[in-house]
Structure 1
């Protein structure tokens, strides 16, 4: 059986990790990649590619439905935060009109994960450990109570954009003015509201944990102690037997109950993960996960699209180091997809000689 899969936001590291994981699975799949601009590397590593509007455009879902009908798509993998709400709001419509299943959670879960303050409240209300946190209106009193250093960052957003460590009252006041007057989410075209948190631990005890969840059951957890560079991307990940951390994250994941993929960022203190961010999607470390036999993309395909029984995933232990790679694309293909909005059988090449 050939499975037809749509992977969106093909220029993102998330989508590229999904594509790598599909290829690595060995399943008979056709990959249809989408993005809103022709210089997205993932467009040229699928079997077919389409240009679409941004995820917040009124026509976005209609364009996706049209592609799904044309290509007879079985499943949709979302490659960016900025399309999650649109897909979540239209799960039923897409399934009804095309038969395709979207690997995205319901709107309530998406909103909890997308907003770091709602994430904080979810953890607190369910008696999980939390990092002391406050909103803009409580910033001054919070600083007096908690002391410095603090960290201030957007309630919504990705990577490390507009994230600052604050060491003095003067710095705090400057950044509060910045968030009130300057900071803007270029994707959502709105002012950025910050969350202020106590800075706990260090970069050396930061972990990223991934899982897939169906019907309140987590099918394995992988937790990686990581080092980040280049705007919040993991460049080194250490995978060991993190039983206590994994057990804790599993309880949080099963309480949240997403549909399919979910990722948790935490600071681990005395083997207890203090979660500060939830990404209700496949993570930027998806390619790393599949490399160590934790292929949660494949698991989603097998369980939901092939209706197979799956066992909890167990990763290999070791270190994953990430490096840059290149994709060569002929000019003619850039021109073709720019003109027609469609391309198939790309002749792109990656550098395999490393």
Structure 2
């Protein structure tokens, strides 16, 4: 089989890097092209070809993505950063028509539902799922009244936010309105307990809406990133994720973050994309980047997933490269080959 060229974006972050690692674990014959906005992104120097690209807020973002896909004859595009999802969903048809590459992205409606925590709450309520009680702030007096109905502690965070930024736990009423004033476009939500019952569950959905499979892990977080992931069945969580996915209708991978509360599994976040634990899932037998290529690009029939139980522990890692390689990337905007080394010293 000829090599399949795959473009992975956001290779400076853990999602993009996880996609790369999962693709390396696959048995497919691949050439991986990486893209990121910064020359200091490690993934640029561990792929077969790296490109510096504009940020999604810049007008030349989409033309540059199309140019790279055409130049590299990419057959598939996989997105890392949340910030790229809506733009690419809105332009998916254009990119696919002009490049021939399959863009692994859900519909605009699905992306907006996942990006906006208030829309996530409304979706869960309308779909008959468990959800954290939530409200949008209005006046200081009404905020306190609504908070009193839910009870403290509460979570205050942006409706649209990434990377666990600006998330506050409010434990008493005197703190509520000052915290609300600090956040742009906030949402206030019930604090789900217990803290040690948090789960992440991915449902992979085919183009025809049929669910291929689900993988669930209990997790511990450090600043929003899973640093411990315990892969097991967790039937209550799995069933809730499958029910949510059936109602949402995503395309490819979709992740549901939950806590197992006294009222049952409760979804508080939806990420309709590859996740930060993509490589762990691949190692446990559920390789979504490989599944996406086999199903959406090669149109293969996938065998049922064979998921192993196990534990992932995440740690810091380094790569090294010559200064001239970094300068080359900054000047030319692209670089060929894996020019950074990754010592095996841990």
Fold match (TM-score > 0.5): yes
2:188 maps to what in 1?
196
Tell me the distance in 1 between the aligned counterparts of 2:34 and 2:235: 36
- Map of 1:60-209 to 2, 5 A cutoff? 60-137=61-138, 139-179=143-183, 192-209=184-201
Tell me the distance in 1 between the aligned counterparts of 2:235 and 2:173: 40
1:23 maps to what in 2?
24
1:225 and 2:200 are equivalent in the alignment: no
2:3 maps to what in 1?
2
Residues 244-283 of structure 1, C-alpha deviation per residue, up to 9 Å, x if partnerless?
2112211111211111111111111258320000011101
1:313 and 2:305 are equivalent in the alignment: yes
Tell me whether 262-271 or 141-150 shows the greater mean CA deviation. Answer: 262-271
| Poorly superposed stretches of 4+, deviation over 4 Å | none
**What RMSD over aligned residues (CA atoms) do the two structures have, in Å?**
1.3
1:352 and 2:344 are equivalent in the alignment: yes
Structure 1 position 303, deviation (Å): 0.6
Tell me the distance in 2 between the aligned counterparts of 1:53 and 1:106: 23
Task: Indicate which of 327, 331, 336 corresponds to 1:339.
Answer: 331
Between the two proteins, the alignment pairs up a number of residues equal to 341
Structure 1 position 8, deviation (Å): 0.5
Tell me the distance in 2 between the aligned counterparts of 1:7 and 1:269: 36
Structure 1 position 312, deviation (Å): 4.0
Task: Indicate which of 309, 321, 328 corresponds to 2:320.
Answer: 328
Tell me whether 113-122 or 145-154 shows the greater mean CA deviation. Answer: 145-154
Residues 100-119 of structure 1, C-alpha deviation per residue, up to 9 Å, x if partnerless?
11001111111011001000
Question: 1:244–1:271: 8 Å Cα contact kept in structure 2?
Answer: no
**Under a length normalisation based on structure 1, what TM-score does the superposition of the two structures give?**
0.94
Question: 1:54–1:60: 8 Å Cα contact kept in structure 2?
Answer: yes
